[in-house]
Amino acid sequence: MWKPNKPCQLNREFDVDNREKPIGVFDSGIGGLTVLKEIINELPYENTVYLGDTARVPYGIRSPETVIRYSFENTTFLYSKDIKLLVVACNTASSVSLDFIRKNISVPVIGVIEPGVKAAVRKTKNNKIGVIGTEATVKSNSYTNAIKNMDASIEVYSLSCPLFVPLVEEGWTEGEIVTSVAKKYLGGLKDMGIDTLILGCTHYPLLKTVLTEVIGGDVRLIDSAIETSRKVKMLLENLGLNRENNFVPRREFFVTDSPERFLKVGENFLGEKIEHIEKIAVSS
Ligand code: DGL
């Protein structure tokens, strides 16, 4: 198991000023902007700092050890930005590295698996839940384990859909090609009679229209991004760390590869303009 050279030294006392500190969000690349977008919807006055590891995306085909190493480096960077809360927006990173991150950082950490699972377990009526995600997410069994921990009687059908990420990155979120890929992937899940489908990947909320068309309008889609943003709001309120003043918030964006592509596709994901973006260096 990979270990950091030096652990993140993160023992800080919270004080009133901590409300002004940003929420840190990281993802393997652009996809996490779907999570940031929902956080901004839910908490419009919060300062935010986003890191997209665009140089090392995709995480979904990598080993847990590598994803843990990348995630820890991302965490260390965001910690240096003096964040008050960390959101691991990437499903793959949440699946394999959340425990490790939590052990090495003393600010609260929210991943995207648990909020999505809670909503799905609440909503299923026939106790048959489908999960779609990257190869690494499905292999990790993170969703299945979390669902079974909540209710062992629920049947879980998980499936990796590796072509969805590049299609969305290309901006192909509707049309013939993406519909036939979705049909090929989701046919089996449909036959299993699921009534709830967790979108276990940052990119999939952008495919909602096609997925509904293919799986059928009677299957509920669970958008982890929305569920996660609700959890972020609840946690900040519980900790008394929510920023209440309504001055314009500060939004910072960092990437690990050239910012051009991030800018071009990212504004689509985020649904608003990205003003300032900076490139940082990471290990290979
Ligand atoms: N962000 C990843 C996730 O949610 C998808 C892209 C990747 O494979 O890195 O799992």
Tokens linked to 215: 């799986």
Q: Is the pLDDT of residue 13 over 60?
A: no
Q: Which residue has the tokens 């009133």?
A: 16
Q: Is the pLDDT of residue 83 over 80?
A: yes
Do the domains at 20-111+227-279 and 113-223 have one common CATH topology? yes
Q: Is the pLDDT of residue 133 over 80?
A: yes
Q: Is 225 in the pocket of ligand 1 (CB under 6 A)?
A: no
Q: Is 228 in the pocket of ligand 1 (CB under 6 A)?
A: no
Instruction: Report the separation in Å between the CA atom of 90 and the middle of ligand 1, taken as the mean of its atom positions.
Output: 6
d(CA 211, CA 223): 12
Please, which residues have CB within 8 angstroms of residue 218's CB and are 6 or more apart in sequence?
A: 195
Tokens linked to 135: 């190869």
Kindly list the domain boundaries of the chain, sorted by start residue.
Answer: 20-111+227-279, 113-223
CATH tag, 113-223: 3.40.50.1860
- Give 209-251 pLDDT, tens digit per residue: 999 999 999 999 999 999 999 999 999 999 999 997 778 899 9
Catalytic residue among 90, 136, 154, 270: 90
Q: Which CATH class is domain 20-111+227-279?
A: alpha beta
User: How many CB atoms are located within 10 Å of the residue 26 CB?
Assistant: 26
- Give 187-201 pLDDT, tens digit per residue: 999 899 999 999 999
- Answer yes or no: pTM beyond 0.75: yes
